[in-house]
Structure 1
Amino acid sequence: MSATLIATVVALVLGHLAPALAAALRQYGWFGDWLRWLDSHLSEGGLWRSRWGIVVALLPPLLAVALFQYALQAPLLGLGGLLFGVAVLFYSWGPRDLDVDVEAVASSQDPQTRRDAAVSLLGASNDAPVDGGAMIEAVFRSALRRWFGVLLWFLLLGPFGALLYRLAALAAESEAAQALPMETRAGARVLLAILDWPASQLMTLALALVGNFDTVLGAWRDNGGASFSLDGRFLGAVARASVRTELAEEAADYADDVGGPPPVIAGDLPELRDAMSLVWRSLLVWMAVLALFVIAGWVN
């Protein structure tokens, strides 16, 4: 568990201190080439063109990682395994810097610049919505995809889990997904939804701890969070409700101190910065819980 905490901290720090290195290393073109090769060489009507075809695509790279993970557990008192974990987590994280993308949208001064920045945040086409509510959901969805999903499965399964999540996301949503047959892509989306569900639930719990518990609980319950539905819509609803409550509390505090509403700055989207603040606080909760597990292990 301590190795997991160290790997997580190192990957986070490296990503922020060396963004050029992160951008250079986090290249996934090989996976798209692999998917296209499979599609051109595997026959019609086989396993590849079913919902289980995604297993065919994921098995070779994940098996290689699993073998390295197992082989590096013991040598050099686990140092090899730690370095391997840091490398795989760093590679699977992101790939883009969420802070930079959010700040680009929040500080945009004209609609076209904001729309271009929103496309970078959403990873979507030029018709992506840029209203406050949709962008709040985009921040949390991006946080799930870039940070929390990778981190959870790294905590549970080590490097194997981190790469599993990243490749599943690529197979379901990236340009590489265009190389997949329709049924195979549907299977990839189901797999990603399964991987997302526990991460979304734990993000919601962290939000309840760092924000307004009653607001989060109500939004979670009203939008199907208590069910086993894999659509994940509750995370967006919880995000909107949390940010709305935070902004209302900030406005009330400002009114008490100054005696009027807070000033509106042209081009500013306070919802986005508030959403990013909640995301960071949620991540700190995850890290604090992980640190507690490490301390408990040392005490025992």
Structure 2
Amino acid sequence: MSTSFTKPSGPARIMVWSTPRSVSTALARSMSARGDTEMFWEPYLTCYNFGPKQNARRFLKTPDEESMFDAKYTYSYISGLLNNEYPGAKVIFAKCMVEGIRDDFSVVERNFKHSFLIRHPKKAFRSMTRLMKSVSLDQNLVEHPYVNIYDDLERFYRYVESALDQPAPPIIDADDLVSQPEKLLSKYCDAMGIAYTPKMLEWESVDASQLNWHCADAGAMAHAQISQSLLLSNALKGVGFGKAPDLTGDDVEIPPHLEEIIENSLPAYEKLYALRIKP
């Protein structure tokens, strides 16, 4: 295995992979606030859930859900978008959910440098429980891909090390990022080969329609009810890390089946946590 990542010519090409409800939208807002970044919103998840296979139909129960689907979102279409030239961009950044590639890691672009964002399963699934109450989504996750999502994330981490030959992909823990954003982002940028800028600490409050992000014309961003719910509203209305209401407190009762999923998710999370960038 090589000991260093070979940076391609042109802009830095970066992906961050996470599980749901892991502050990943806030990280995307932070990267977008740099002013030199071309942003991609969950391109592989869009293919998996809202492209031709329409996997999300098993779990959606929302009005006007047709607005979320678009058959153009194939993996080959995404590959073309990610590898386009974007004049003026110093960074090509894609925020991705590992659910979108769980069946085939090989669809992932090899010329991107990969990184990971994790959050303690109890906090992530508590946030998911609150989300389920705010929109009409299927609350029974027993058969949902989220059941093994932390295992998928760890599997993909090992895949990046082995099949993609990238040593020690950087990992950020969401709690560290929210509590000490300047330290974490500075170290993250250094690990990803880009310059840190204080612009990454604050951004303007927006709604989904104001974001000029690729792949935001399908999925959650394209559905008004969902984009205005807890799914996205805090990250979009907030103006920095830790500057949005904390809606993941102990007042949310976690259903028994989720408690079991949380327990089963801990080993994979703890393995990744031990490898994280420390503040």
Q: Normalising by structure 1, what TM-score?
A: 0.25
More helix by share: 1
Whichever structure has more strand as a proportion of its residues is 2
Relative contact order, higher structure (CA 8 A, sep 6+) = 2
